[in-house]
Structure 1
Amino acid sequence: MPTRGSFPLGLGYLAAVLLRAGFEVELLDFNIRTFSRAAMTRLLIAKAKECDGVGFSGMVTMLGTIQWMAQVVKQVAPHVPVVVGGSVASPMPEFLLQRTAADIACIGEGEETVCELANALEKNEPIGSVLGLCIKEGKTIYRTGTRPLIKNLDALPFPAWDHFEIHQYAKNNYFVNTPYRSMNLIAGRGCPYRCTFCYRNFGNRVRVRSVENILLEIETLIERYGVHHFDFQDELFTLNDAHVRQFCSKVIEKRLNITWRCLGRVNLAEGELYKLMKAAGCHWLGFGIESGSPKMLKVMDKRINLDEARQAIALGRQAGIHVTGTFIMGLPGENSETISETVRFCKENKLYNKPFYPVPYPGTLLFESLVRSGTLHDGNMESLIGKMERDATELIINLTDMSDTDLIRLKEDAESEIRGAVAGTRGFKALILLAKETAAIWGISGLVRLFFKMTARKWGKLLKK
């Protein structure tokens, strides 16, 4: 259960390693389509009785859903072990097992763990020797030990795309508006930075796949499913300059007719690298700038400054790449002055993106600091985590000294001011730029397809009102 609309890479990798190990795998994907609770219940009941084990994977925002689904499984198949993985399990596995009917939580990367667990269950052997687990046996909950990170990511098979509604995912174009089919993938795992609000799925140690392995996945997706746009979901794609240069050079050498999007970091900005990326098909580059206030950047431990941010935005645009940025309003210390600084920065740099409220996800430094201060405790933690199912554009906890009313008003006013100053003046230019890029990459046919896709989306939104 990942971000709705994007392909669930974690589940895809788990299915792939289990299939390669010779296990039978059946997937219920509740991500790509909307199911009623009654329909989901019927599916779970039908499948749970046939399985030797049931696994759920999701973000912490899905805690409430996983509580309900695990209970459904246990009611009809109490003997079947229920395993939960993903960010809903890894940061607080004991908390998860105490508050759900699940038997086992998988901590961290699951590919090796799930295969060893499945093998032990199949042979009816003790699972306590399988590293990377937290196990509930009666009223006892214990961890089995830390599993080392996977060193060679190339050893993993590609996600089991054929076990999902892959063509529906390919049509989604979830992250950016492109005229052709798209897919998300990951070239490396880990991020060496420690921003206070960020949950690091794969820890601080960075590991990357070989360029050859990444290109083979891209070429496979092109050949099998007609995908020509790729969204790299690496936490920090541009960290390894040499690796990115090698990837871009190979894409150009192979004359792959693709576009792609990735995330970078402003203190690592390099104009010549961005030009090479653009030549290799990179048309979208996102930066986590997060604030236009030096004070708030320190609060976040961003380890960047605003001059670096301005320079990175300029270099990306000079290379012909569409630059985006994310912003957070409402961390401890935020006030009307710091929000005004962010508004000025965005207007000055013609950068608009709907700002987020901070969410103290379990496993983040922000969450840990709130636990230490007593703001979060056993009495309110489950309630707060339940509210995380809402989008981060909704306020679920006020970490400032302002009232909820004042914080919401300041954020909404800031958003409106930035949108009016930036989106209004750049909207037509952005549309013209998109049309030019589309025609250059896909020709007139691609431009026509983009027009009809955007028109269909507009009418779809109107019909829903």
Structure 2
Amino acid sequence: MKVAFVHTPMPRVIVPERRRYWQAFDTRYHAAHPNLRPMRKVMWELPHWMHWLGGVLRARGYLDQVAIDFYTDGCELSGIDEEATARMLREVPADIFLFSPMAPNLRYALQIAGLAKQLHSRCRTVFGGVAATPLAEQVAAEPAVDFVIAGRGEQALPALLDSLSGRLPLDEVGHLVRRLDDGRIVRTARTYPWLPVGAIPMPVVELFPAEAGECLRYIRLVRALGCPFECPFCTIQTIGRSADSFTIDRVLAELDAYRDHYGRHHHVYFGDETFTVHPKRTLEFCAALEARGDVIYDIQTRPDLLTDAALLDGLRRSGCAWIEIGIEALRGADHRVLKGGRGAAEFTDTLKRIRDAGLNACSFLINGLPTQTLDDMRRSIDDVCELIGRRLLFASYIFGMVPYPGSQYHAEPRRFGIELLHRDYHLYHEELPPVYRTAHAGPDAMHRVLQDGVMALGEAMTLSEDQWPDHMAGMPRDGYGTFWNLPHS
């Protein structure tokens, strides 16, 4: 049985205001990562779900695996290039096509699945992941979809393949949603017990050719799976509320395997939602990285989990170059609610400690939270620009808030003061006008604030002469951020 993992494209959304922003952001990112190389094409990061489930299937004996990359060429907002897509699919006569799209590219995954079934009439298509799980019945009703795995797939996917191989009744496959011949959508009764990370096999690292390393920003790894927090805009709860850590030896073995295949120069992005949630475990891991002395890495976490001086020192000594901090907003009621009651003054104190420890802090800023007035949004952006000017923040992302399927904002919009305008999910995109309104603002006004904020942050992040590091001397200053108009944006 041949299994094809499909890397679904993202639509090109060109935002002219992003040009200077991405140039300035990229310049600062390069400044913090001396070994970073420009991407030949923008894959950005490996689709970790493929490698992970590839390892699960290989352990069950399903060895014939291939990855099909549609992502690096992107697609138009209106849809995929059917001729080019069909050309690629003809070269892969797989039995099973696996998809794990997000909400904005679910539409394109369905289009690719339809073409796959036209070209390979006996193939089966399987959907899963953060969009297909909360939309399981809706996705299963699509003609191009044979099965949906709603929830984690490490046990359900090999069981489904066993069933399609004739070794297990289909009704015994857990987490499965499917369409019957009469059109009814059914969900199997079986569920699987929670799978500890120690039971997850090593990933299939080599799913992509080694030259794909030239299209990567970094190697993404996961040290701990899950997040104990419940932010209402987040969809991560599909993988659980408890941060379950892999062993240090396992993580370091993955790190070496990925860098050996895709390039030793790559730094690592640890994709744990809250890397520092367990300080003792974090310091133990930092000690292992410090002992190696050959890893530069990035993390993401919350500001209320960065208050310990020993932890910050451990991060610096072990090679941490970049800390992405979810602040969401510095004005409006949501900041204290989302970040453990920590206000703007406490956040500033945390940034001072991070800076003084020799670490670079990058904030995540979300525009359009439901409690924000337009003035709150503008002032929050101004505050972040000021923090960058004071060299307390090194950089900041900013995107529009999106009530993605799987989030509380999508499941219970009225509870949060949100009115969803439609459920056309390919328009649920962080760069497009919001798909909702609140009691404080409509989509057009919120989008104008976002565009103005993008330009303001681009100006704030532009490096001055004294900030330009020596290791960037060989690259033209207008060569940074050129990915701004590619599928990633």
Pair in the same fold by TM > 0.5: yes
Alignment of 1:265 onto 2:302? yes
Q: Gapped runs of 5+ residues in structure 2?
A: 1-6, 11-42, 76-80
Distance 1:325 1:402 in 2: 24
Aligned match of 1:207: 244
Amino acid at match of 1:217: E
- Picking from 186, 192, 215, the partner of 1:147 is 192
Structure 1 residue 100, shift from structure 2 partner? 4.4
Change (3 A) 1:52 1:354: closer
Aligned match of 2:29: none
> SS of the residue aligned with 2:399?
coil
Distance 2:420 2:317 in 1: 48
Aligned pairs (5 A) from 1:314-463? 314-350=352-388, 351=393, 352-370=395-413, 375-376=419-420, 380-381=422-423, 383=424, 385-388=425-428, 390=429, 392-400=430-438, 401-420=440-459, 422-424=460-462, 426-432=463-469, 435=470, 447=471, 450-452=472-474, 457-458=479-480
* Structure with larger RCO (C-alpha < 8 A, sep 6+): 2
Alignment of 1:17 onto 2:53? no
Change (3 A) 1:198 1:166: farther
Aligned pairs (5 A) from 1:98-177? 98-123=141-166, 125-138=168-181, 139-144=183-188, 145-151=190-196, 153-168=197-212, 170-174=213-217
> TM-score scaled to structure 1, two decimals?
0.84
Change (3 A) 1:121 1:222: same
Change (3 A) 1:160 1:427: farther
Tell me the number of residue pairs that the alignment of Structure 1 and Structure 2 aligns: 429
- Picking from 347, 360, 363, the partner of 1:309 is 347
Amino acid at match of 1:199: T
Q: Which 10-residue stretch deviates more, 208-217 or 18-27? A: 18-27
Aligned match of 1:8: 47
Distance 1:226 1:323 in 2: 26
Distance 2:263 2:55 in 1: 21
- Picking from 221, 224, 233, the partner of 2:258 is 221
Q: Which 10-residue stretch deviates more, 307-316 or 30-39? A: 30-39
Structure 1 residue 210, shift from structure 2 partner? 1.0
Alignment of 1:275 onto 2:313? yes
Q: Deviations over 1:387-424 (max 9, x none)?
A: 12x4x12213242333444323333334434443x324
Q: Which 10-residue stretch deviates more, 326-335 or 27-36? A: 27-36
Distance 2:133 2:336 in 1: 27
> TM-score scaled to structure 2, two decimals?
0.80
Alignment of 1:189 onto 2:225? yes
Change (3 A) 1:398 1:117: closer
Distance 1:369 1:41 in 2: 39
Distance 2:150 2:121 in 1: 23
Change (3 A) 1:460 1:192: closer
Amino acid at match of 1:267: D
Q: Deviations over 1:136-177 (max 9, x none)?
A: 2221212223333321x2332332221213432x33452xxx
- Picking from 61, 67, 71, the partner of 1:27 is 67
Aligned pairs (5 A) from 1:218-257? 218-228=255-265, 229-254=267-292, 256-257=293-294
Structure 1 residue 33, shift from structure 2 partner? 4.6
What is the Cα-based RMSD across aligned positions, in Å? Answer: 2.8
Amino acid at match of 1:197: F
Q: Which 10-residue stretch deviates more, 35-44 or 231-240? A: 35-44
C-alpha contact 2:276 2:282 (8 A) present in aligned 1? yes
Distance 1:328 1:30 in 2: 28
Distance 1:354 1:258 in 2: 24
C-alpha contact 1:271 1:315 (8 A) present in aligned 2? yes
> SS of the residue aligned with 2:83?
helix
Distance 2:475 2:128 in 1: 36
C-alpha contact 1:45 1:72 (8 A) present in aligned 2? no
Distance 2:408 2:481 in 1: 43
Aligned match of 1:441: none
Change (3 A) 1:370 1:268: same
Q: Which 10-residue stretch deviates more, 116-125 or 222-231? A: 222-231
> SS of the residue aligned with 2:298?
strand
> SS of the residue aligned with 1:11?
helix
C-alpha contact 1:360 1:366 (8 A) present in aligned 2? yes
Aligned match of 2:28: none
> SS of the residue aligned with 2:275?
coil
Amino acid at match of 2:187: R
Distance 1:418 1:163 in 2: 38
Change (3 A) 1:55 1:416: closer
Structure 1 residue 240, shift from structure 2 partner? 1.2
Structure 1 residue 73, shift from structure 2 partner? 2.4
C-alpha contact 1:61 1:88 (8 A) present in aligned 2? no
Q: Gapped runs of 5+ residues in structure 1?
A: 175-181, 436-446
> SS of the residue aligned with 1:74?
helix
Structure 1 residue 459, shift from structure 2 partner? 9.8
Structure 1 residue 126, shift from structure 2 partner? 1.9
Moved over 6 A (4+): 371-374, 461-464
Amino acid at match of 1:185: L
C-alpha contact 2:434 2:447 (8 A) present in aligned 1? no
C-alpha contact 2:97 2:123 (8 A) present in aligned 1? yes
Distance 2:245 2:300 in 1: 15
Change (3 A) 1:304 1:101: farther
Amino acid at match of 1:119: D
C-alpha contact 1:109 1:149 (8 A) present in aligned 2? no
> SS of the residue aligned with 1:396?
coil
C-alpha contact 1:261 1:284 (8 A) present in aligned 2? yes
